[in-house]
Amino acid sequence: MTRPTMTQALRSRGLKLTQARQAVLQVLGTASGHLRVTEVHRRARRIAPGIGLASVYRTMELLARLNLVRPVHMEHRHRHYARVEEVHGHHVVCTGCGLVIEFSDCGVDRLARSLAKRTRFRIDDHSIELYGRCPTCRRRSQAAPPTRDGRPGGRSAA
C-alpha cells in the first residue's frame, strides 16, 4: 500500500493526520520489506525530530488495526511490520537472527474453502508464519561448540 493510500484510509475514517502519523506514513511509504518499530522510529526522527517511540508504537498498532500494515510476529523478539500489499503475503521467520522472507504462494485457498464449509465461517483472510533457522544460523550453530547443557550453538537454554 502506498503512502497516499494509507493517508486516505486514515482521513476516510475521520482520523487526524498528526505529525507523528505523517512521519510514520512517510517512512512506511518509502520502505521495502519489514521494519521493526525501533527502525521506523529511527527513520521517522529524521522527518520529525521530536517524535517519541510511544507515538510510533501507537501509530503502528493503529495501522495494523486498520489493516494497512501487518505484524510479523517474532516470538519473543521484537515485532516487525510490513505494509499490506495488494497480494497477501506470508512469512518465513528465522528464530536465530530474525530474518524475514515473504512469500505469497501459500496454496491455502482450498483448505479455507473446506473449513468455511465445515464451520460455516465466512473466511475473509489468512496469514501464515513459518518459523525455522536460516542457512546462516544453521551453519553458525553447527560450527559453534556445544553448550554445557549439550545444545549446539554456544547458547544455553537459560
Same-domain check for residues 74 and 1: yes
Going by C-alpha positions, the residue among 50, 58, 48 that lies closest to residue 26 is: 48
CATH number at 158 reads 3.30.1490.190
b or e along 54-70 (b: 16 or more beta carbons within 10 Å of the residue's beta carbon)? Answer: ebbeebbebbeeeebbb
| pLDDT single digits (tens) 101-156 | 777 777 788 888 899 999 999 988 777 778 889 899 998 888 766 555 555 554 44
What band does 30 get if pLDDT is binned at 50, 70 and 90? confident
Query: What is the pLDDT at residue 77?
Result: 55
Same-domain check for residues 80 and 13: yes
Strand partners, 81: 35, 71
**pTM, rounded to two decimals:** 0.57
Rounded to whole angstroms, how far apart are CA atoms 100 and 22?
26
Query: What is the pLDDT at residue 78?
Result: 56
Same-domain check for residues 26 and 100: no
Q: Which of 8-12, 17-21, 23-27, 91-95 has the lowest mean pLDDT?
A: 91-95
| pLDDT single digits (tens) 47-90 | 999 999 999 999 998 988 888 887 766 555 556 566 555 446 67
Same-domain check for residues 126 and 68: no
CATH number at 19 reads 1.10.10.10
Residues 24 and 60 sit within 8 Å (Cβ to Cβ):
yes
What band does 93 get if pLDDT is binned at 50, 70 and 90? confident
Residue 2 pLDDT greater than 90, yes or no: no
* Residue 121 structural domain: 87-145+152-158
Same-domain check for residues 55 and 66: yes
Domain boundary, last residue among 71, 86, 101: 86
Same-domain check for residues 65 and 91: no
Same-domain check for residues 6 and 74: yes
Going by C-alpha positions, the residue among 33, 34, 6 that lies closest to residue 21 is: 6
Domain boundary, last residue among 86, 101, 135: 86
Query: What is the pLDDT at residue 86?
Result: 46
Residues 99 and 134 sit within 8 Å (Cβ to Cβ):
yes
Query: What is the pLDDT at residue 158?
Result: 38
Domain boundary, last residue among 39, 60, 86: 86
